[in-house]
Structure 1
Amino acid sequence: MAAAEGAVAMTFSNILILGAGGMLGHDLAAVFPGARLCGHKDLDITDEAAVKAYILDAKPDLVINAAAYTDVDGCEDDPGRAFAVNGDAPGYIAAACHEVGARLIHYSTDYVFDGSKTEYVESDEPRPINVYGASKLLGEQNIAREMDNYLIIRTSWLFGRHGKNFVETIRHLSRTNETIRVVTDQVGKPTYTMDLARKTAEIAECPPGIYHVTNDGVCSWYEFARAFAPNVVPCSSDEFPRKAKRPAYSVLVNTKTSPLRHWKEALEEYLNTTVNVP
């Protein structure tokens, strides 16, 4: 089912990537080489009038929104920013897309679920337990209210070459500490941003709706860390308190498209390409 990286460019002649300066945005730019790239310095997506003017001027036929406020604990400290960026802004983007007749691809999160089930399919009812998840759910709802021609891709535990992520954080701590505590009672699916970007090219051609896209394989944060750091030790969430409550299980099940490769294989590629990165 996988599409070549250039296949979408043949169908969509004018692609706009929002959030192009972020970790996922960098990889999307590589997968969609002819796209117009827009970062936060180019457009404040929380400014409704500016969003409308920018998209009406660009006249894209496909908009990929990778812009988000992803600091989960930071969202608890600043819910106003979280709901503006993750909740209201996607609605502004969707309204503008609808006006120009563009298809919208938007990324959401496993944290729209409460973790009371061991796994979640696309049709399961969201019940977020933190501000980040609630703000992302509002974004989904606002998009669905404004347009029909949308693709919402829920994903989880992103790591990539162009931004701060769990892998690099643990690798740094591993070099500077005798041991590092990592929680073993939060379970999900790590996802490599380049694999997600490539899959986005395929899903761009799919029917509208919600899609779950992660690398294959389920693990805890501790098991994930053990794959690349030898000196991690397990702990519980109670032993490692954070501002935002995290779901115990946020395993997304993809029922609509072909699966991605296992996260261990993706991690090996990532480590091979970042081995010399400080």
Structure 2
Amino acid sequence: MVVGTIKTLIIGASGMLGSDLCKLFPDAFKLTHKELDITNRESVIDWIRKIKPDVVINSAAYTCVDECEDMQELAFQVNGYGPGHIAEACSIFGVKLIHFSTDYVFDGSKKEYVESDVPNPINVYGYSKLFGENKIIENIDDYRIIRISGLFGVHGKNFVGTMLRLSRELDTVKVINDQFGKPTYTMDLASRVKEVIKLDPGIYHITNEGICSWYGFASDIIDNAIPCTSEEFPRKAKRPSYSVLVNTKIEPMRHWKEALKDYLKERKA
């Protein structure tokens, strides 16, 4: 199957981001977790040998940040070794690889991070995703790693959906106001992948524009959010105070407030 003249394979096709990638690449080959377990090296190689794509877009990941603290082996298998297997297979068959990483590879000691900043994760999820980045770089030259932040989309659990649910269930919803990032709509992100495919190998930061705290984000979603500190709302995995990704390599995307409006319309529809 061909997108233009480029045969594309999407791995992790049923996830929140993968589902929107499938909309943007309607003729791509699509593999879900049920069809391909990326932690199985032989299976990864067999599928890529069989399909013979020009480009692999990997959106498969274990993204439950708090669960990763207890499920460290699984986190490193899915987020680390799995991408390494894909990179190895792509290298063997001369395939370009697009892979998604995270703002959580950084520790939050800076207000903003560009692509060349040195990562220093502070939780297992971040360590596992950085390990995946490194396994890709070790195994293939023709890669594009896209670091992303605060994803929301209609095809999976996300912060916006959680806020809407809690707002119905509770009189007030406590939301952390001392962690800052850039919320990103999966459809906007997916729409940029075709552009990144054509760019030079390397690491890219792609998010919607606009910096906010989780409370600031929530306040645009619901009307009964109240601020609290990270200390008042402890979670198993430590989060960076600032995980703001700065894109220095491609044109910026629209503000997250505009993206949120479209997401809410799509969700309602």
With the shorter chain as reference, the TM-score category is over 0.9
Query: Which whole-Å CA distance do the structure 2 matches of 1:241 and 1:11 have between them?
Result: 50
What's 1:151 paired with? Answer: 144
Superposed counterparts of 1:205-224, under 5 Å = 205-224=198-217
Query: Which whole-Å CA distance do the structure 1 matches of 2:162 and 2:194 have between them?
Result: 29
Aligned residue for 1:151, secondary structure, equals strand
- 1:78 paired with 2:81, answer no
What's 1:263 paired with? Answer: 256
> Which letter maps to 2:222?
A
Query: Which whole-Å CA distance do the structure 2 matches of 1:59 and 1:275 have between them?
Result: 39
- 1:63 paired with 2:59, answer no
What's 1:235 paired with? Answer: 228
Alignment gaps of 5+ in structure 2: none
Query: Which whole-Å CA distance do the structure 2 matches of 1:148 and 1:49 have between them?
Result: 21
Superposed counterparts of 1:33-112, under 5 Å = 33-112=26-105
What's 2:3 paired with? Answer: 9
What's 2:161 paired with? Answer: 168
Alignment gaps of 5+ in structure 1: 1-7
Superposed CA deviations along residues 68-103 of structure 1, whole A, max 9, x for unmatched, are 000000100100000000000100000000111100
Aligned residue for 1:210, secondary structure, equals strand
Question: CA shift at 1:9, angstroms?
Answer: 2.1
Superposed CA deviations along residues 142-196 of structure 1, whole A, max 9, x for unmatched, are 0000010000000000000100000000100001100010000000000000000
Question: CA shift at 1:11, angstroms?
Answer: 4.2
Q: TM-score, normalised by structure 2?
A: 0.98
Superposed CA deviations along residues 17-68 of structure 1, whole A, max 9, x for unmatched, are 0000000001000101110000000011101111111111111110000000
Query: Which whole-Å CA distance do the structure 2 matches of 1:197 and 1:11 have between them?
Result: 19
Question: CA shift at 1:265, angstroms?
Answer: 0.1
> Which letter maps to 2:181?
G
CA RMSD of aligned residues (A): 0.9
Question: CA shift at 1:201, angstroms?
Answer: 1.2
Query: Which whole-Å CA distance do the structure 1 matches of 2:245 and 2:36 have between them?
Result: 31
- Pick from 240, 248, 264 the counterpart of residue 241 of structure 2: 248
> Which letter maps to 2:4?
M
Query: Which whole-Å CA distance do the structure 2 matches of 1:233 and 1:39 have between them?
Result: 38
Query: Which whole-Å CA distance do the structure 2 matches of 1:211 and 1:160 have between them?
Result: 21
Aligned residue for 1:152, secondary structure, equals strand
Query: Which whole-Å CA distance do the structure 2 matches of 1:99 and 1:61 have between them?
Result: 12
What's 1:18 paired with? Answer: 11
Q: TM-score, normalised by structure 1?
A: 0.95
> Which letter maps to 1:17?
I
Query: Which whole-Å CA distance do the structure 2 matches of 1:44 and 1:254 have between them?
Result: 31
Query: Which whole-Å CA distance do the structure 2 matches of 1:185 and 1:197 have between them?
Result: 29
Query: Which whole-Å CA distance do the structure 2 matches of 1:134 and 1:223 have between them?
Result: 27
Aligned residue for 1:9, secondary structure, equals coil
Aligned residue for 1:259, secondary structure, equals coil
> Which letter maps to 1:22?
G
> Which letter maps to 1:46?
T
Query: Which whole-Å CA distance do the structure 1 matches of 2:173 and 2:268 have between them?
Result: 20
What's 1:4 paired with? Answer: none
> Which letter maps to 1:228?
I
